[in-house]
Amino acid sequence: MPTVAAPQVPARLGRFVLRMFRPHIYVTYGVLWVLALESSAVAATGVAWRPSGATWLRAASVVLALLFLRMLDEQKDLAHDRVHHPDRPLVTGAITKAELRGAMAAITVVATALNATLSATATLLLLATFGYALLLAAPARPAPALRDRRLLELAVTYPVQVLLGIYVYGSLVAAGNVTADWRGAALLALSACVFLHFEFARKTTWEPQPGERLYSADLGPRRSAVVTAGCAAGAVGCQVLLFAPAGLLGLSPCLAAVLPAWGTWRFLAVRRGGWPMPAATGFVVATYLALVVRAVLGP
């Protein structure tokens, strides 16, 4: 492969980010996730919440972590992409492994510097997330076996998302904004259920295409739909557990459940195509936005 001149690298990385890490999706998700988790953690203690400088540092750190993970996934999936996605940047040479690894090193330095201004705990928790992700990428041989078993792959890779949630909550505890208790576990379960609803929805379909790695291929469309709907129900259950004492305002984010309810009905009734993704995406956005609004309007 020809050598890439150093002045070309930023533009090549920029094109990679715009294509494979679409800011309007990944940045929006990362920021909403942090705002919802932080605001709910503070509001659950009965204290009014407003975003601070530390809030935006956490949000920036999570977005950087998501970009780090996207770059790492691109390298892990190279063999599969050569067969099934020959237009991907790493396959075509639009980006190289060396460029991605250099960017990942830069992300690590920047994220470490940002979190050093928060606390040593925040820094260590974020670096633990990076470390776990790199550990998963290290053994190249078991990767094909994981790819062939989607549920096993999810069980192994999903803890990266859990660690990011722990980073946000743990940094709040270290800063003295909240005291660690059962509500932290409930909030992490809530965000897990929201994410897993979207994750299962995007990989549940009646008619898989060649090369697609789907949960519905392992479970069958109906059982995959049940799991997808169950994740949304779990998110609602966590909100009831956390915020029922606050009355109707506290439970207002539960109204977003109408989206997965409709998505489940449509998927099972039509019996063709995939899960209606606008409903799954809308559930994530509506839930997180409603949690933030609820925290702003009242503890």
Q: What is the pLDDT of residues 67-104, one digit of tens each?
A: 999 999 999 888 878 888 888 999 998 899 999 999 99
80 or 173: whose pLDDT is higher? 173
d(C-alpha 39, C-alpha 295), whole Å: 6
User: How much of the chain, in percent, has pLDDT values that exceed 70?
Assistant: 93
CB 242 within 8 A of CB 293: no
The strand pairing partners of 178, in sequence order, are none
Whether residue 247 has pLDDT greater than 70 = no
pLDDT tens column, 6-20: 778 889 999 999 999
Mean pLDDT computed over 270-298: 93
Q: How many CB atoms lie within 10 A of CB 157?
A: 16
Whether residue 107 has pLDDT greater than 80 = yes
> pLDDT category, 248, cuts 50, 70, 90?
low
Q: Given this model, what pLDDT does residue 211 score?
A: 67
d(C-alpha 200, C-alpha 57), whole Å: 30
Whether residue 4 has pLDDT greater than 80 = no
> pLDDT category, 171, cuts 50, 70, 90?
very high
**Residue by residue, what is the 3-state secondary structure of the chain?**
CCCCCHHHHHHHHHHHHHHHCCHHHHHHHHHHHHHHHHHHHHHCCCCCCCCCHHHHHHHHHHHHHHHHHHHHHHHHCHHHHHHHCCCCHHHHCCCCHHHHHHHHHHHHHHHHHHHHCCCHHHHHHHHHHHHHHHHHHCCCCCHHHHHHCHHHHHHHHCHHHHHHHHHHHHHHHHHCCCCCCHHHHHHHHHHHHHHHHHHHHCCCECCCCCCCCCHHHHHCHHHHHHHHHHHHHHHHHHHHHHHHHHHHHHHHHHHHHHHHHHHHHHHHHHCCCECCHHHHHHHHHHHHHHHHHHHHHCC
User: How much of the chain, in percent, has pLDDT values that exceed 90?
Assistant: 73
d(C-alpha 185, C-alpha 150), whole Å: 26
d(C-alpha 202, C-alpha 45), whole Å: 35
249 or 294: whose pLDDT is higher? 294
**Dihedral of alpha carbons 64, 67, 68, 69, sign:** positive
pLDDT tens column, 129-150: 999 999 988 754 455 555 567 8
Mean pLDDT computed over 13-35: 94
CB 202 within 8 A of CB 275: yes
pLDDT tens column, 179-197: 999 999 999 999 999 999 9
Whether residue 251 has pLDDT greater than 80 = no
Q: Given this model, what pLDDT does residue 299 score?
A: 63
d(C-alpha 115, C-alpha 171), whole Å: 9
pLDDT tens column, 194-230: 999 999 999 999 998 776 789 998 999 999 999 999 9
Mean pLDDT computed over 149-154: 85
Q: Given this model, what pLDDT does residue 81 score?
A: 81
Domains and CATH numbers, the chain: 1-178 (1.10.357.140), 181-299 (1.20.120.1780)
